[in-house]
Amino acid sequence: MWPIIIDFGEVSIFGFEFHPVINSYGFMLMMAFYSCYYFLNKDLKEMGYESKLAADMVFAAAVGGILGSKIYYLLENFDRVMADPMGMIFSGAGLVFLGGLMGGTLGVTWVLKKNKLPWLKFADVVAPLLILGYAIGRIGCLLVGDDYGKPTHLPWGIAFPDGLPPSTYRVFQTYYPWINLEGFDPGVLTVHPTQIYETLLGFGIFYFLYKKRKTITVVGSLFFTYLIFAGTERFIIEFLRVNPKYLFGLSGSQLISIGMIAIGSWFLTHQVKPPSEAPSE
């Protein structure tokens, strides 16, 4: 774990004391958005659009994504919010991608509507970047010890003694009582590094989608392909995660993932005629 990249120590300015740090979670979040901006700006320039459009889309996605991911995280961990509301709201944890996807989509949709641009056309452009940002963000989760998986004895299991929360026997008993701890001794437990699994899968999906973007024959098809890939990836990984199960033994993320796969599959087999782009003034 490497939660803090640089600690500047105590700094005094005009009598005010500060303790500035660069934490790894925030740094990787910034890297995710800058990486997405780089590729988005590059593609939009090739399409004849100005850099301002890319900046507006990424900013809207950042604001909507962060708010959406945090709200989803708080709702999914409502019992912990009630026990420690301020700690949960202002903690470094909470990069729940499915909530961020919904919030970010609303933000980008607002920008596209404001500029009278076709949603499906730009959804194809953004699709590879959604999974790229997700993969980079998962590195941040790994560095702070957040969003890890179930306890495991596998040789590549990782312990997070100072994680959010720590991967201890007591924490699993308290916060994740539905997890079977048979065969594990009290103390710090090694767990599935699901952050690494998702980072590797995310980069692989990004590579596939980004290479495929130049051969799109049906507008929207790349975005719907993304929904299927991302939904499938998250559905499978959830079996190794510690999230509570709600319906048919499935977690909230798995139920949403099924929706993503269903939507992507339906639209891939039922072509939608996109509206024409309004001429720029």
Residue 151 inside a domain? The answer is yes
Residue 280 inside a domain? The answer is no
pLDDT given at position 276 = 57
Residue 14 inside a domain? The answer is no
Residue 139 inside a domain? The answer is yes
CA-closest candidate to residue 27, choices 53, 7, 52: 7
Going by DSSP bridges, is the β-strand pair 4-7/21-23 parallel, antiparallel, or unpaired?
Answer: antiparallel
What tens digit of pLDDT does each residue of 73-102 get? Answer: 777 766 766 776 666 655 555 556 677 788
Residue 85 inside a domain? The answer is yes
Question: Whole-model pTM?
Answer: 0.87
pLDDT given at position 117 = 94
pLDDT-derived band at 13, boundaries 50, 70, 90: confident
What tens digit of pLDDT does each residue of 142-182 get? Answer: 999 989 999 999 999 999 999 989 999 999 999 999 999 99
Tokens 């560095």 label which residue? Answer: 143
Residue 281 inside a domain? The answer is no
Across-strand partners of 160?
A: none
**Considering the chain, what is the average pLDDT of its residues?**
88
Q: Using alpha carbons, list the distances in angstroms from residue 42 to 14, 51, 214.
A: 43, 9, 13
Looking at the 3D structure of the chain, how many domains does it have? Answer: 1
Residue 277 inside a domain? The answer is no
Range of the domain at 243: 4-8+19-269
Q: Above 90 in pLDDT, residue 268?
A: yes
Q: Above 70 in pLDDT, residue 277?
A: no
Of residues 244 and 228, more confidently modeled = 228
Residue 279 inside a domain? The answer is no
